[in-house]
Amino acid sequence: MKKNFGSFYYCANFFDRIVSKSACSPSDAITAFHIASLLLKKFDALQEKNPLVTLSFATDSLRVYYRGQLQFHIQPRKYRTIIWIPGGYSRNLSQEIQKHPHLFPVEGEHISWVLNEEGVDWLMKYLRSNWQPSTVESKESIAHSRHIPGEVRQAILTEFLTSGRWCSGVAGITKRHKVSETMRIEFDHILPHSVGGSNGYWNIQILCSDCNQVKRATAT
């Protein structure tokens, strides 16, 4: 099944940030655009093949989750794309990257590296061999659990709080509306868990408890 990974506005914004920050030669812009689009295409293919991988565009990065845990950010900069691994995330991957300085020019010491075409190839090969669903059991236990990983909750909540506290409403019944500080909020599976909706970032939203009750009552 084709997975949706966030707003296309952010996807456009991603390229915009790469190529429009300052005057540079057209060939630099084309190279930067090429690397970024190659990278996003490969990540899209990766998540398509691997149910444990989830992608999510945010305002200033593409966030890459594995098993519901945020692993790193792919971030657009002026004429380059970087991989940003905040301290504590993907320790093994950041150690491996540091063993290949010729592939990954340093952007920020021990934390972020510039991605060029060879680096992208290396990275995708690494992720394909290290991010495999290890057993059928683990895949099933994740698929059957209703549990929304802490990282996903945190990301959804942060967006809710910073974007103006909007409840999405229930399609066809209630409208999108602002949620006051005193109203109760709940995490909701957009595609219900009972019909196969995942616990991944793209399938979770915040609803006010009134709307959530309406949604539950009208679910077929």
Task: Provide the β-strand partners of residue 62.
Answer: 57, 74
Task: Kindly state the smallest distance separating residue 144's Cβ from Zn ion, in Å.
Answer: 28
Which residues of this protein are in contact with Zn ion, per CB under 5 A? 167, 208, 211
Q: Which is nearer to Zn ion, 103 or 206 (CB)?
A: 206
Strands (E), the chain: 53-57, 62-66, 69-77, 80-84, 106-108, 112-115, 166-167, 177-178, 185-189, 204-208
- Tell me the closest approach of the beta carbon of residue 178 to Zn ion, in angstroms: 9
- Nearer to Zn ion by C-beta: 41 or 178? 178
Q: Given the DSSP bridges, would you call strands 166-167 and 177-178 parallel, antiparallel or unpaired?
A: antiparallel
Shortest Å distance, C-beta 202 to Zn ion: 20
Q: Closer to Zn ion at the Cβ: 4 or 213?
A: 213
| Residue whose CB is less far from Zn ion, 151 or 188 | 188
Shortest distance, position 23 Cβ to Zn ion, whole Å? 46
Exposed (0-12), middle (13-18) or buried (19+): which is 94, by Cβ within 10 Å?
Answer: buried
